[in-house]
Amino acid sequence: MPTDHSASRPTESASAETASGDTESDDHAPLLDVTDLRTHIHTDRGTVRAVDGVRFAVDRGEAVCLVGESGSGKSVTCESLTGIVPSPPAEMIGGSVSFDGTSLHDRETDLRAFRGDRIGHVFQNPQHALDPVYTVGAQLVEAVEIHREVSDEAARDRAVELLGRVGIPNPVERVEDYPHEFSGGMRQRVALAVALAADPDLLVADEPTTAVDATVQARLLALLRELLDDGMGLLLVTHDLRVVAETADRVLVMFGGTIVERGPVEAVFERPAHPYTQALFDSYDGFARRSDRPARDDVPEDGCRFRAECPHAIEACSGPDQPPEYAVAGDEYHTASCVYYAEDRRADDLLADARAAGPTGIEEDDD
Ligand SMILES: Nc1ncnc2c1ncn2[C@@H]1O[C@H](COP(=O)(O)OP(=O)(O)OP(=O)(O)O)[C@@H](O)[C@H]1O
Ligand code: NI
């Protein structure tokens, strides 16, 4: 069931000014505030605009889910926040990232002071996070000690506790094991435990629940909810719409390096508004993904990135920029970057199409 940590006070609306601002003096400044983030990747075949003007915010206690097909730029967005995107080939072209009043991309800011401490990061590929030559216990203890001055024994106890909390059986014994002694799914959970060891204010988690069975997934989601209730902010990337339904306060839908739709989870699931969101949800049968299309390399670099495939595309979709974010059905917190929402008549048709196509099934879980 979607939680309501921030339902009464969303951090974003159709107006960009709402989310950003002079954070130090403003009590209502979000924990994380990202504006116009651009990260391009230089490849043999040219420059990929992996992230091309992304804006969003995450508040304390709030779960924001980033969804979108393979190659849409979700991981590069996450990795750009604390500058851990591999560079080269990536180049952070622009944008600002403010975290609890500190501008992360300022030259003077030492990003290492935030990574793995106040901002935890679970990589899509846990190989990046775990060091093969140390036991997971040693890595957890190190992460615990970044944050707290504790005795070795207390850090050790905390390491065991964390392993147990992410659902590793026999944590007392397993803490002695090396990363390669764990399965892929378990390594991902160990990486989550490491990311949580420093009690981060913000957890950025890229597919943390893939390759785990339903029981473990339920346990992980319960853990995330507990941490959210304690005030942690969460930016979660997932292809699993059930995870979105059960975790997210708000959803960001990404396509071609841009955010094409955003809003409270109920609104986006009940009234997917951008034609891309509609196509994305159509590729699911309820919560089950029917197909995972390979990443594409033919996304336009201007105008609406989805226009080449959009059944509703018109001349106005050709640019120069991704269309502004328009309120959907009068809800200023639910926006779609689609010219049809600039005028209500055609937008109504699009929403009617979405309803005819059927909901994603979020109601099933709502009680
Ligand atoms: N190291 C790299 N070298 C070249 N291109 C890259 C690299 N990393 C990412 N890209 C490109 O950047 C774009 C965004 O990739 P990203 O990994 O952010 O997608 P994603 O939304 O996380 O996809 P997935 O759901 O498959 O994880 C893609 O076009 C991808 O091919
Ligand atoms: Ni990814």
Instruction: Give the pLDDT confidence of 80-119 residue by residue, as tens digits.
Output: 999 999 889 999 999 999 999 999 988 888 888 898 899 9
Question: Shortest CA distance to 250 belongs to which of 78, 95, 56, 92?
Answer: 56
Angle at 15 between CA 14 and CA 19, to 5 degrees: 105
Cα-based angle 242, 245, 247 (whole degrees, multiple of 5): 105
Closest ligand, as measured to the CA of 280? 1
ipTM over 0.90: yes
Q: Which ligand is nearest to the CA of 79?
A: 1
Amino acid at site 181: E
Burial class of 353 by CB neighbour count within 10 A (0 to 12, 13 to 18, 19+) = middle
Ligand 2 centroid vs 67 CA: distance in angstroms?
A: 10
Nearest CA to ligand 1 atom 19: 71
Find the 27 Cα to ligand 2 centroid distance in Å.
33
Determine the 3-state secondary structure of 4 from DSSP: coil
Q: Which amino acid is at 366?
A: D
Which residues, at least 6 apart from 110, have a Cβ–Cβ distance to it below 8 Å? none
Q: Which residues line ligand 1 (CB under 6 A)?
A: 41, 43, 48, 50, 68, 70-76, 86, 89, 124, 295
Alpha helices (H) in 150-300, listed in sequence order:
152-165, 171-174, 184-197, 214-229, 241-247, 265-270, 275-282
* pLDDT (0 to 100) of residue 14: 55
- Which pTM does this prediction carry? 0.91
Nearest CA to ligand 1 atom 7: 41
d(CA 91, CA 47): 10
- Dihedral sign, CA of 196, 198, 203, 206? negative
Distance 73 CA to ligand 1 centre (A): 6
CA of 77 to the centre of ligand 1 (A): 10
Q: Which pLDDT score is estimated for 365?
A: 45
Q: What are 126-181's pLDDT values in tens digits?
A: 777 899 999 999 999 999 998 888 999 999 999 999 999 999 999 999 999 999 99
Nearest CA to ligand 1 atom 17: 75
Q: Whose C-alpha lies nearest to ligand 1, atom 14?
A: 73
Ligand 1 center from residue 74 Cα (angstroms): 8
Say what the pLDDT of residue 253 is: 98
pLDDT at 127: 74
- Hey, what are 105's tokens? 């991309």
- For ligand 1, the distance from its centroid to the CA atom of residue 289, given in whole angstroms, is 20
Sequence length of the chain is 367
Tell me which residue has its CA closest to atom 12 in ligand 1.
50
Task: Collect the ranges in the chain with pLDDT lower than 70.
Answer: 1-27, 292, 294-295, 344, 355-367
Nearest ligand to the C-alpha atom of residue 68: 1
pLDDT of residue 2: 42
Q: Is 84 helix (H, G, I), strand (E, B) or coil?
A: coil
Residue 357: per-residue pLDDT: 62
- Going by C-alpha positions, the residue among 210, 302, 204 that lies closest to residue 257 is 302
Distance 50 CA to ligand 1 centre (A): 7
Beta carbons of 224 and 63 less than 8 angstroms apart? yes
Q: State in Å: Cα 75 to ligand 1 middle.
A: 7
Name the closest-CA residue to atom 30, ligand 1. 71
So what's the pLDDT on residue 12?
Answer: 65
Secondary structure tally for the chain: helices H, strands E: 12, 14
Mutating to test ligand 1, I would choose from 42, 43, 47, 76 the residue with most ligand atoms within 8 A of its C-beta, which is: 76
| CA–CA dist 61, 223 (Å, integer) | 13
Which residue's alpha carbon is at the smallest distance from atom 18 of ligand 1?
A: 73
Query: Measured in angstroms, how far is the CA atom of residue 70 from the centroid of ligand 1?
Result: 8
Q: Which of 48, 92, 305 to mutate to test the pocket of ligand 1 (most atoms within 8 A of CB)?
A: 48
